[in-house]
Amino acid sequence: MKRPLILYVDDDPEALRVLKIGLEDRGFIVLTALGGKEAYAILETEKPDLIITDLRMTPVNGFDLFVELKKTPKFSDTPFVFLTAVDDQLAQTYGKKLGVDAYLTKPVDIDRLEAIVVSRAMKAL
């Protein structure tokens, strides 16, 4: 069975490292991008089965990354998860209004994240 390819975008190198290890230990293939610009560069050659992104990043924040990628036919059906320290009802409501598949807050329960990745990314395979 094919293992899902995940792209995790965050501007915190430690967050990238920890989550990458956690997801790889569960059998996923994980690419990481240190911010939105690096994510765009990776996405020129890769088509992940799911994208996880932080919200608070500069110059491209997670909302902007989501909106831009959903306009692109190649990524319009790619499942998307917001994983952020922004535990704010307004931000969660806005994310759901945009159409994000899941909105999780840090620190994340890795088992919960795994369940979401499996349910969303496996549909893409």
pLDDT digits 0-9 by tens, 54-113: 999 999 999 999 999 999 999 999 999 999 998 889 999 999 999 999 999 999 999 999
This prediction has a pTM of 0.94
Res 50 pLDDT > 90: yes
Domains in the chain with CATH codes: 5-124 (3.40.50.2300)
Q: Is residue 3 very low, low, confident or very high in pLDDT (cuts 50, 70, 90)? A: confident
Report how far residue 96's alpha carbon sits from residue 111's, in angstroms, rounded to the nearest whole number.
Answer: 22
Neighbour order of strands in the sheet with 29-34: 29-34, 5-10, 50-53, 80-84, 102-105
Report how far residue 26's alpha carbon sits from residue 82's, in angstroms, rounded to the nearest whole number.
Answer: 20
| 4 upstream amide cis, omega within 30 of 0 | no
